[in-house]
Amino acid sequence: MMTHLRFSHGGSTRGTTQAAPPNLITLLTLGLLCVNTIILLSDHQWLTDNRWLKQAVHTLEQAGDSSQASAAAAELAAQAASIGVIAGSSIQQAGLDDQQQLSLAAADPLMDLFQQARRCNNSPLMQQYRQLHSVMTSGEAPPRFLVSVAPETGMAERLTGLVTQLYMALLSGRALTAFHPDPDAVPPFSAACEYPLFNWSHPQPLARAVYAPLLADDYQTYAQRRDAAAGLQVLPQPYDESYQLFNFINATAPMTAWLGTVNLTGWPQERPGLAHAVVGSNRGATWKLANNAYHTDDFWRLSLRPEEAFMCGFWALCQPNAEVQRLYARNVWGPLADPHALKIGIQVRFGDEVLNSDADREGEPKYGASLMSLATPFFECAAAIESAYSVPGQAVVWYLLSDSSELRRAAKDKFGDKLLTDTEGPAVHSSCRANTGKATRGKVMAGGACDPELTQRVMQHALGSMLALSLADFHVITEASQLGRAAAALSGKWNNVHELTLGEASGCDPYTGAHSMMVALHGAGI
C-alpha cells in the first residue's frame, strides 16, 4: 500500500537572542541530517531540496536557552512525524499561506510517482496568472473569459484542446473556464481530476444559442475552418455583444497555422474587451505556440521547453483525484515508477469499429489471434528497444494500453509477468454516444440515456491509464491515435517515441525515434 506523507508546518518558537548551547545545536542538527539522509536513501523524494531541513536548523538557531532549544526540537520532531493521508491528490492544510502551500506541494506523494511534474508551474508568470484568474472569476475584475465548450470526442482529444486553450487564455490575459453542454454524454474532467491551481469550471451555464454552432459539423472546407477560427461565426443578438465563438473542432490545419503566427496579446485584437471568447476544440498546438515568435519569451518566462508545454499545462489543470489514485496508484503506477526498471509503453489503437465490436466478439476462436497478428510490429518494436537499452540484470516492464480487451488478454497470455495491462475492463469510449456495440452500449447506456456513474468511471480509467503510459521510458504508439501521443507528451521525455501504423510489416529501429515536433503535429496535435 502506498504511504502518503504530509507535514504540518507550525510557527517557530521565538525566544531571546541568546544562542542555544553549541553542543546541543550541533547534536540536534546532526540528528536532522541523519533523518534527512535516511529518508533520501529510502527513495522518498520530498526532502531532496532540503528546504524543511534549513527551516529546522534556522528554528534551532533562533531558539534561546537550552529549554527553548529543546522545546523547538520537540516541535520539529512532531512535525516530522506527522503522517497522514492526502485527500484526493491536493494537500489540504487549513490556515497556511501560499508559500507554505507551495512548500507542502513539494511533499506531494504523487510527485514521487510523477517526478516530471515537479518541473511545472513554479514560475512567477504562472503565479501571476493564478492571481488574474482569481480576481476575474470572483468578480473583482471585469470579466475576460476564455470559455472552453467540451466537444463530444474522446478524453485525450478534449484534453489536447483544453491544454492549448489554457495557454491561449494565459497569453491573452483571460481566465480559462470550461462548460459542458451534456455532462452525462461527455463527463467533465472533474470526474477524474482535482483542480490544483485554480477552479476552471465556468461559474454559470451558457445559453444554448452561444454554443449551438459547435454541435454541428458545419465547416467542411479549409477556408471555412480558417474563418471560424478567426471568430467570424455570427451569433444571434443579444449574445453577439458579450460573446464570440471560435470553432476549432477537427480543424487541425487552420488552427495549427493560426496559432503558430498569431499575436495573442489582447486577443481578439478586434474586440480586446470581449467578455467571453467561447472556444470549441479537440485539437492541440502547444508546440506551435511555444515556437510562435510573438510568444517564445513568454514560454521562457514559464520555464518551459516546447516539449514540456503540454505536460505542464496538464498538471496546471488536473491532478488525478482520489478515485483514480485508488484504481491505479498501487498496482499500476507504482511498478511503472520504479526508477531502476526499463519501462516500455505500448499503445495499440484499432479504432472505433473494433472498440464497439470487441465485447460482442469475446471468445471467438480466431478474433484474438487476428488482433495479435495486427499488433505484432508493436511488440517487435518493444522487443528491439529492450534489446538495445536494457542492461544485464535489469527489470523490464511492458505496459500495454489498447481499445481491445481481447488483445490485452491475448498479450498477457503470451508475454506473462513482463507485461502489465488491464485484462478485465471492457473497451469503452469516454464519449458516451460513441459506444454503438450491443454489449458495450448495454453497459454504458440505460434507457437510451447515458449512465453518469458509469461514464465517470470510464473517464477515471481513461485518465489513469494515460498517466500510466506516461511513466514509460519509451513509447510505441499508434500514429493515428491521440491517447498514446498525449501520454508520451506527459512523460517529460523526448526522442523516446516510435509511431507505428496498423498494418506495417515490421517493427522499428530502436535508435531512431520520431522527432518531438513531428509527433506534436500528427493526428490531433499536442
Q: Which CATH class is domain 330-521?
A: alpha beta
The pLDDT tens digits for 366-399 are 998 999 999 999 999 999 999 999 999 999 999 9
Q: How confident is the model at residue 232 (pLDDT cuts 50, 70, 90)?
A: low
* 30-34, 198-202, 369-373, 455-459: segment of lowest average pLDDT: 30-34
pLDDT of residue 521: 80
Q: How confident is the model at residue 27 (pLDDT cuts 50, 70, 90)?
A: low
DSSP secondary structure letter of residue 49? T
Q: How confident is the model at residue 252 (pLDDT cuts 50, 70, 90)?
A: confident
The answer to whether the CB of 428 falls within 8 A of the CB of 435 is: yes
What values do phi and psi take at 494, rounded to 5?
-145, 165
* 214-218, 269-273, 337-341, 358-362: segment of lowest average pLDDT: 214-218
What's the chain's average pLDDT?
A: 81
Place of cell 491475448: 410
pTM, two decimal places: 0.78
Instruction: Report the distance separating Cα 155 and Cα 444, nearest Å.
Output: 16
Q: How confident is the model at residue 152 (pLDDT cuts 50, 70, 90)?
A: confident
Q: How confident is the model at residue 457 (pLDDT cuts 50, 70, 90)?
A: very high
pLDDT of residue 345: 98
Q: At what angle do helices 482-490 and 155-172 cross, to 10 degrees?
A: 50
Domain ranges of the chain: 22-113, 120-317, 330-521
**Residues of the chain with pLDDT > 70: what percent?**
76
Average pLDDT over residues 463-477: 97
Q: Is the pLDDT of residue 213 over 70?
A: yes
Instruction: Report the distance separating Cα 16 and Cα 184, nearest Å.
Output: 62
Q: How far from each other are the two terminal CA atoms of the chain, in whole angstroms? A: 34
Q: Is the pLDDT of residue 18 over 90?
A: no
The answer to whether the CB of 247 falls within 8 A of the CB of 219 is: yes
**SS3 state of residue 266:** coil
Instruction: Report the distance separating Cα 391 and Cα 385, nearest Å.
Output: 12
